[in-house]
Structure 1
Amino acid sequence: MRFPRFVEAVSRRAELPTEQAATISRAVLHTLAERVTGSEADDLAAQLPDELSGYLAPPAADRATGGPVAFLRRVAERADVDPAVAEVGTRAVLATLREAVTVGEFQDLVAQLPKGIDAMVDPIRRYDGR
Structure 2
Amino acid sequence: MRFPRFVDAVSRRSGLPPEQAAAIARAVLQTMAERVTGGEADDLAGQLPDELGDYLAPGTEAIEGRSAAFGPAAFLRRVGERAGVDEATARVGAGAVFATLRQAVTVGEFREMVARLPRGLDGTIEPVPPYDG
* Fold match (TM-score > 0.5): yes
User: Would the aligned equivalents of 2:23 and 2:83 in 1 still touch at CA under 8 Å?
Assistant: yes
Shift of 1:59: 4.4
Superposed CA deviations along residues 14-65 of structure 1, whole A, max 9, x for unmatched, are 0000011001100000001111122111100000010111000134789611
Counterpart among 91, 94, 103 of residue 98 in structure 2 = 94
User: Would the aligned equivalents of 1:35 and 1:63 in 2 still touch at CA under 8 Å?
Assistant: no
Residue matched to 1:118: 122
Q: 1:59 to 1:39 in 2, by over 3 A?
A: same
* Amino acid of the structure 1 residue aligned with 2:110: F
Shift of 1:69: 0.3
Counterparts of residues 39-118 of structure 1 (less than 5 Å):
39-59=39-59, 64-118=68-122
Structure 2 unaligned blocks of 5 or more = 128-133
Across the two proteins, how many residue pairs are aligned to each other? 123
Shift of 1:119: 3.5
SS in structure 2 at match of 1:35: coil
Task: Give the alignment's Cα RMSD to 1 decimal.
Answer: 1.7
Shift of 1:118: 3.2
Residue matched to 1:34: 34
Hey, what's the Cα distance between the residues in 1 that align with 2:40 and 2:20? 26
Hey, what's the Cα distance between the residues in 1 that align with 2:106 and 2:33? 18
Residue matched to 1:24: 24
Superposed CA deviations along residues 71-119 of structure 1, whole A, max 9, x for unmatched, are 0010000000000000000000000000000001001111111111233
Q: Given the two structures, how large is their TM-score scaled by the length of structure 1?
A: 0.88
Residue matched to 1:128: none
Q: Given the two structures, how large is their TM-score scaled by the length of structure 2?
A: 0.87
Structure 1 unaligned blocks of 5 or more = 124-130
Identity among equivalent positions (%) equals: 69
Hey, what's the Cα distance between the residues in 2 that align with 1:5 and 1:85? 20
